[in-house]
Structure 1
Amino acid sequence: MFSRIKAQYAVYGIMFLLLVSCQKPAQKAAATDEFSAAPVKVYKVQKQKVSEKLVYTATLEAWKRQTITPDISGKIARIYVNEGERVKKGQLLAELDTQSIRLQLAQAEAALAMARANFEDASRNLERMERLYQEKAVSEQQYEKVRLAYEAARAQKDQAEAAVNLARHALDVSIMRAPFDGVIAAKNLEEGDVINPMMGGFSASSGVLTLVDYSKIKVRFEVSPADALRLARGQKVYLENPSLPGQQFEGQVTTVNTSADPQTKKFRAEALINNQDLVLKPGLFGRIILEVSTRENSLAVPQKAILENSYVLVVEGNKAVRRNVTTGLKNTDLVEITSGLNEGDLVIVEGNFGLAEGSPVKVEGEVVR
């Protein structure tokens, strides 16, 4: 019984060996290739827009910034807003204690009323005296005395009007309003603090409040002399921020300095970025991208497809085949191919480093851009 089972297993083994030995060499090679094929991902070459881009690090600032402070000294009576609060143009922000100013205004208005009465009286006297003088009923000396009194009364009236206007101006400037729509960036003083702009009683950069408008963002960056020649006012730019992945904000160049910084030998430039949703915040850093040259309908591949700056590997018949290429425009993502590839070629973009020409490959996916 045992011997019979052994004999059966021996027969099965011999049959398996015969089957394997009968397998065609091509089938054996295919099986070996499939087992040893390197996994890769490919990019299908296609025509598209390719832009050469310049990239710089930039600092973000609000495009409008103003210190809110009165033109006169006084005690701060009320502050009506807090940090981070959005305000509208003309909105009341803060005011000084105006009690003494109102008393000065009342006093000036009373003095003006008296000066106007004196002036009217002097005007009537002069008018009467002019008639008498023409009739030769009074002497020139008498006439001159009345005329001088009239001139003095008029000067006193003008002075009183100026005093009233000055007091009214002081009352007006003691009330601080928003000069534009914006956000309160800083509350620098508190109610009860005394501010004296004329005597240096506060920091010129602080004031009572700091108001900013960052519905547009001003960005500053430095460029090399060669790049400065490629920039111009009105040129389109894009801003990217690390805290907002996948988002780009459009703007344009507003300033390119005509002289280089003596220390860095670079040129300073500015751009204005649209920020209507107030997503970007002043004080952050960002990446400015400028398209300086663009070509439409060009063959292009991802940067990582290019090996040793001279060739790519394409998939042909499940093998990696070398293609020497000539490149054109480049940016951080794509490289223009001016010769060496055809539309529709499958270029290896992942798994290509260290891969030898002729190696068997297995395509595990296609990269889409």
Structure 2
Amino acid sequence: MYWKTVATVALALLAALSACKQKEDGGSTKAPPPAPIKLEVITVGEAPVPQQMVLTGIIKADQRSEVTADTAGKVVGVMVDRGQRVKMGQELVRLDVRTQALSAREAQANLATARAQRQLAEEECKRAQSLLDKGAITRSEYDRQTTQCTSALQQVSAAEARTAMIAKSVADGIVRAPFEGVIGEKNVTPGDWVAPGRPLFTLIDDDPLRIELSVPEAAVRAIKPDQRVELTAVADPEKTYGATITRLGAEIGRTRSLMVEATLDKGAELVPGMFAEAKVTIGQVIRPVLPASAVVKRGKTWHAFVVVNGEAQDRIVQLGTPPAPGQVSIVQGVAKGDKVVAKITEQVVDGVRVAL
């Protein structure tokens, strides 16, 4: 009986060990590799593409002015606000010029008196000339009378100048826009006391906008008037704006560069002060060229897939200037003669097998 029990237990242990071995053998079987994906593969070619120089600059207004008053006075009215577009000569600020107006009335009265005295002096000079001709007065008496006439004339001129000066101060009580533009900064409110030289507003003429670029000495010969420029604002890198080079500097500066000014095309949705990147074409260069469908942007980098030994290898590529619509040029990442996937889909990942 004892030996029978032992034999039964041994058989059970052998059966369990056999079952475990069968499970291990079944678990170690590898899954079959995924089937290759049918993809179109093309050979990388080369073509001439524009060679561009990248410069940086700041968008500037065509004109910018700190508007000030030409006379002192208390502000009694402000007719504009920040962001408002104004016409040339439009009223911006009114000053209290009642004191100047009273001075103007006084100056007018003094001028009238001086003119009356001049008229009297001219008549006396005529009589003196007649008496001198008749020998009724001496030369010295005639000279004294002539001096009085000259003095009267000078007094009239002085009164006219003072009257004009005071009239100008009255007119200066209205501060006007020196040109058409948009009000930027506003530094005045009713009740303020202003004096000549104090900035009241910043006036900006934003039509057209322009950008100043610093061109390295080695590239100066490639820059010409009326040359086209492509601009990209840092605030909106996906949108491109056009500009034309309108002015060239007269000399190379201490930084060994030439200042160049370009005028933006009308309708550019940019604001003075924005930082921008400019691309200027200075020649041509031979580079690898691919269809736009053969590259894809994933995250912040561009990718192409090169087929090597039947597998797609992910390559990070740097794009250059497009040679034509629907094409891209490659600065680095792939080379002429490489086999690349012609159209990238979501199925195309690094290491996927490709069926040619």
| Fold shared per TM-score above 0.5 | yes
Shift of 1:249: 2.3
User: Could you tell me which amino acid in structure 2 is paired with residue 227 of structure 1?
Assistant: A
Shift of 1:153: 0.3
Q: Deviations 1:146-176 (Å, cap 9, x if unpaired)?
A: 1011011001000000001111121222221
Residues 141 and 334 (structure 1), Cα distance of their counterparts in 2 relative to 1, 3 Å cut: same
TM-score by structure 1 length?
0.67
Q: Deviations 1:186-232 (Å, cap 9, x if unpaired)?
A: 1112222122236xxx4xxxx01110011222223334332334223
1:232 paired residue number:
224
User: Is the 1:112–1:157 contact (alpha carbons within 8 Å) kept by the matching residues of 2?
Assistant: yes
Aligned-CA RMSD value: 4.1
1:181 paired residue number:
180
Shift of 1:96: 1.7
Residues 138 and 353 (structure 1), Cα distance of their counterparts in 2 relative to 1, 3 Å cut: farther
Shift of 1:353: 9.6
Shift of 1:294: 5.7
User: Is the 2:61–2:208 contact (alpha carbons within 8 Å) kept by the matching residues of 1?
Assistant: yes
Q: Deviations 1:22-71 (Å, cap 9, x if unpaired)?
A: xxxxxxxxxx9992137578799898x94222222321221210111112
User: Could you tell me which amino acid in structure 2 is paired with residue 180 of structure 1?
Assistant: F
Matches within 5 A, 1:266-345: 266-274=257-265, 276-277=266-267, 279-293=269-283, 300-301=289-290, 331=321, 333-334=328-329
Shift of 1:268: 4.0
User: Could you tell me which amino acid in structure 1 is paired with residue 158 of structure 2?
Assistant: Q
Matches within 5 A, 1:15-164: 35-37=35-37, 50-164=49-163
- Consecutive unaligned residues of structure 2, counting only runs of 5 or more, are 1-31, 296-303, 313-319, 323-327
Shift of 1:270: 3.0
User: Could you tell me which amino acid in structure 2 is paired with residue 258 of structure 1?
Assistant: E
Q: Deviations 1:55-108 (Å, cap 9, x if unpaired)?
A: 223212212101111122222222110000011111111122111111111111
- Consecutive unaligned residues of structure 1, counting only runs of 5 or more, are 1-31, 307-311, 322-329, 363-369
> Does 219-228 or 96-105 show the bigger shift?
219-228
Shift of 1:355: 7.4
Tell me the secondary structure at the aligned position of residue 248 of structure 1.
strand
User: Is the 2:74–2:96 contact (alpha carbons within 8 Å) kept by the matching residues of 1?
Assistant: yes
CA distance in 2, matches of 1:89, 1:288: 32
Find 2:242's aligned residue among 226, 237, 250. 250
Shift of 1:266: 4.7
CA distance in 2, matches of 1:54, 1:267: 14
Residues 273 and 129 (structure 1), Cα distance of their counterparts in 2 relative to 1, 3 Å cut: same
Q: Deviations 1:5-25 (Å, cap 9, x if unpaired)?
A: xxxxxxxxxxxxxxxxxxxxx
Shift of 1:123: 0.8
1:197 paired residue number:
196
CA distance in 1, matches of 2:344, 2:43: 9
